[in-house]
Amino acid sequence: MNFVRRALCSVTRKKGKSLILFAVIFVLGNVIAGAIAIQQSTENVEKSVKKQLGGMATVEIDYEKFQDELMKEENQKELKPLELKTIKKIGDSPYVKYYDYNASGWISSKKLKSASFGDDSSMGFPEGSFSLKGSNYAKVLDVEENKIKITEGRTFKQEEIDKGTNGAIISSKVADENGLAVGDQMVLDNVAYESYNENGGVGELYKIDTPVEIIGI
């Protein structure tokens, strides 16, 4: 008698045990199948969430490495900024949804009233100091990342970015302090001071007035 016939005879003779065995196998199979389905579903949800959230990366010069190179080399090296072609090459990657390259700075104004946020007043900047940030991304990166919210007006248009139009988005606090609204012209009077003048005080070296149109708050 071959193994197949012997197995069939064992099943038919011991129906109770066979039914219990098949029931256990059926339950285990369903449990395993359910576990696999849950695992696959969890992985799909995780991938979907990661795709929706995305990630933000900042590309900048490695200043620590540059300092280390200066210590090693006898000849002084020049610190060069990131080249525009390098920035665009990174931004054109299919893995990048949008990108921005920007410049930040400070100005001191004699006419405009500044406003502080949180603990900014403890940073050591004098009254009348303003933080400026120039953007190459028309929709404004901080708006896209939900760091700031436009309550009045709009963000930039691409042609305004391309032409270098003097448009500005200001905070609501700065608008309130200076009585400004969307559509107004604001003159940034950037004042530069010398350390000490002949009388031992701080003197004004020069002043540059730059008119900008407020397009958003």
Q: Digits of tens for pLDDT over the chain (217 positions)? A: 566 666 666 656 666 777 777 788 888 888 898 889 898 888 888 888 777 776 788 888 888 887 777 777 666 677 778 888 988 899 899 988 888 888 888 888 888 888 876 554 445 556 678 889 998 899 998 898 888 999 999 999 999 998 988 999 999 999 999 999 999 999 888 887 766 656 666 667 778 888 999 999 9
In the prediction, which pLDDT does 125 show?
57
Bridge partners, residue 33, by sequence: none
Axis crossing angle, helix 3-13 with helix 15-53, rounded to the nearest 10: 100
In the prediction, which pLDDT does 23 show?
80
d(CA 12, CA 18): 8
- How many other CB atoms sit within 10 Å of the CB of residue 186? 19
In the prediction, which pLDDT does 83 show?
86
The answer to whether the pTM exceeds 0.75 is: no
d(CA 113, CA 174): 7
> Where do we find the tokens 């309130």?
176
Please tell me the total number of residues recorded for the chain in this structure. Answer: 217
Q: CA dist 33 to 19, 20, 22, 37, 100, Å?
A: 21, 20, 16, 6, 47
Tokens of 155: 């963000």
